[in-house]
Chain A
Amino acid sequence: MKLERDSISPNQFMFSIICFMHAIVLRSGFIISITRQDSWIMSITGFIFSLLPLGVYVALMKNYPNKNLIEINQAVFGKIVGNLISLFYLFFFLSLAALNTHDLGHFVLSYMLPETPVAIIVLFFLGACFYSLKKGVKNIMHLSTLIAFVTLIAMIINSVLIAKDTHFEFIFPLLQLEPEKYVQGTVSIGAVVMGEVLVFTMLTPMLKNGKKVGKSLFFGMLISTFSSVVVMIRNILTLGPLVTVVTLPTFESIRNVSLADIFTRLESIYAILLVILFVVRVSILIYVSVLAMTQIFSKESPIVPELAYENSPREKKKHQNQPPFLLLTTALTFFYSLIVFESPIENSHWGATVAPFFSLTFELLLPAITLVAAIFRKIVSKKKEVNA
């Protein structure tokens, strides 16, 4: 694997955000059990809510251009305190990677390979992640445009094919539940789905043009929100009250497509896309974890431009040592994902109750603290200048 400071375009960045988000968008069943037929509204309010953390990230990026979260922490709090705070992020990234791996493992277990041990499924899955990271995260970014397009097209085709089976009355009446449920839904979507864009603040130095970070983040989230609304409305219209009962509404909804006995069983396409999106997602998460780990634990900045191969043999040696770090993280994810929950039931319970607060701690609280500290630092240094 190469930890490369290689440039990608803002569009590729945006599409990788879309891929990253879609993995979860296509799986978001937990929210529907809370707000039922109004869940699609929660996608929109959740997006608006998530603009808050987004603002914090963009402000941080503006103050420290071409630096990622860990480097910003080191710059704001100094090496030791910064690294301590960064450890929290590392934990968060690793947890996310493990949680998503766990999710996917159980999805495959129940829909595709009911008798295979989940460890083997996860092993193969992480094998694919490991391989793609070994080839460089840049390649995943390049692929994401293609994958995002295919996903969006598949989503639209599925929605069109199922139009025959939709019942518009299922979406009505609007907004009849208790207000606190809507707050819960908004925070859940904002934190668990949208807020995870935090991961991409680790990758911003890869961008050629650092100024367009905010734009890419915003539009990536906007498009994800749009498709999330489409998917949720489709699920509600096809499943009606069933939507609150089934484990995976999207899957069950697509299962109903039946057109002329040929366009049936389209859920297989959904399953394939979901697996691919999850490989992309978990690969990015593992990459970010490796990046955080190397930045925290190694003395010098580990991100070296690709050019380093050319002249210094010392660099070469260093890079030879990278794979074990990647291997370590992948192995960690593997074991973590196996023990993180005892069953998917526990997982979905956690997703609906604790997850928002867990996520918000890392997505909003910590960056906000960093931002405040950064601003404070600036004011102090300015005052010093003035005094001097």
Chain B
Amino acid sequence: MKKLACSYRIKRFYQTGTKNRYMKLFLLSFSLVLCLSSCWSQRDISSLSIVIGTALDATDNPEELSLTAQVVKPTEIGSNSGGESSSGGGQAYVNITQSANSMLPSVRAMTHSQSRKLYFAHNEILIFSDELAKTNILDPMDPFTRDYETRMDVQMMISRGKAAEILDQNNELEKLPALYISGMIKNQKYNSETVIVTLRDFLIATLSESAAPIAPIIEIFEEDDGNKLLRLDGTAVFQDGKMIGELDQKETKGLLFVLNQSSAGVNTLETPAGQVVLETLSTKTKLVPVLAEDGNIRMKVQIKENVILQSNETREDMTTLENIKMLEELLAETTRASIDAAVKKAHLLSADIFKFGEAIYIKYPKIWKEMKDQWDVKFSEVGVDVEIDTHVHASGGLTKPILPGGYS
């Protein structure tokens, strides 16, 4: 317990000794530093332009690109606690466009015309016009990845036509087009007909030795009555940082099957008796490279698909064993057709969108080393065997279709 007494004495010693002067001096200098150093990196929220969507377009000058940033007007967003109540009905966003020879210079060039600094940390979508994508997509992407303000989980897409126009497409439900688009993208997992690609996914595919990056395509679609709508339609395929082709919706579906990303979706089957709709519950895909005796590699795609009967538009009971079997076979056929279409298109473009190369690398690293240099050519020669195992799980709440007159 001597120690106890001594800690007490130390305390007394610290209180009375010259230590106090040291302490005061230290505190004084520290507080001076505090005063001097305040507000280097400080920025009030009200001094920021919060960017939530970015679009990149090619310009007439091949050396330049134009950047459009969607900036939020916070007072117009539905909060009723704002200083003055907003008049309502005003646009909640401003699109700012600036051209320069690269991305960062255009962001900085905006300071010439704007009162607030652009702030990209909450950027949700990144749209490239197809025109730009066909010439060079990697150069503007680099600053987006390198800077810490931006995040790698932004949704990436390619627009048909001007990307800036996509960002200006108003919607009844959402006040901000960018949030509308990012919500739309998140919604795609219910149909499995569009790829969902973040900047990170795109970069990982770009860095891969074999795989070809992909991105969804967005376009403005004009309805018959002149109403303009946004629509996700198909997939853009890249090679060497350039967009080299597109997959349509059916091919995209096949692609998602092979990539094991097809999570849900509907399959409309034409049976002899009429139309039946099956909903996918889950699919599981396995890529198995097989080394044939002649030294060639074939790719075995094993798919297991679980569906439920969602809509029976025939007058027949589809829950009989024979009919179930018939449905399963029909489903396998449609799936095979979409995969075949995708494979055909991929072979045509000679772009490994399916990540076959990586599967081979994992299983046959030595063979891969020999073939990776001519993978562009060799990919088209890889034969694809599709094995599909479909399974109808349940028939929903009804066993038999609803017939007028009933089953008396």
Contacts and interface: CB of A to CB of B under 8 A. Distances in A.
Looking at chain A's contact residues, the main secondary structure is helix
Interface residues of B, number: 31
A172 B2 contact: no
B207 A245 contact: yes
Contacts of A110: 148
Contacts, number: 68
A114 B40 CA distance: 9
Interface stretch (A22-30, A187-195, A252-260, A277-285): A252-260
A309 B19 contact: no
A173 interface: yes
B263 to A, nearest CB: 13
B190 interface: no
A273 B6 CA distance: 35
Interface stretch (B248-256, B357-365, B382-390): B357-365
Given A256-B153, A258-B153, A307-B3, A323 B37 contact: no
B50 to A, nearest CB: 15
B41 A239 contact: no
Contacts of A241: 204, 207-208
B13 interface: yes
Looking at chain B's contact residues, the main secondary structure is helix
Contact of A242 (B9, B41, B151, B203): B203
Nearest to A123: B33
A112 B148 CA distance: 9
A115 interface: yes
A310 B13 CA distance: 11
B3 to A, nearest CB: 6
Interface in A223-271: 239-242, 244-245, 252, 255-256, 258
B18 interface: yes
Interface in A342-380: none
Interface residues of A, number: 32
A307 B2 contact: yes
Interface of B: 2-3, 5-7, 9-10, 13, 17-19, 22, 30, 33, 37, 40-41, 148, 151-153, 200, 203-204, 207-208, 358-359, 361-362, 365
Interface of A: 110-117, 120, 123, 127, 169, 172-173, 176, 239-242, 244-245, 252, 255-256, 258, 306-307, 309-310, 316, 320, 323
6 contacts: A120-B33, A172-B362, A173-B365, A309-B9, A310-B6, A310-B9
Given A169-B362, A310-B5, 9 more contacts: A115-B40, A117-B40, A173-B361, A239-B200, A255-B151, A255-B152, A307-B2, A320-B17, A320-B18
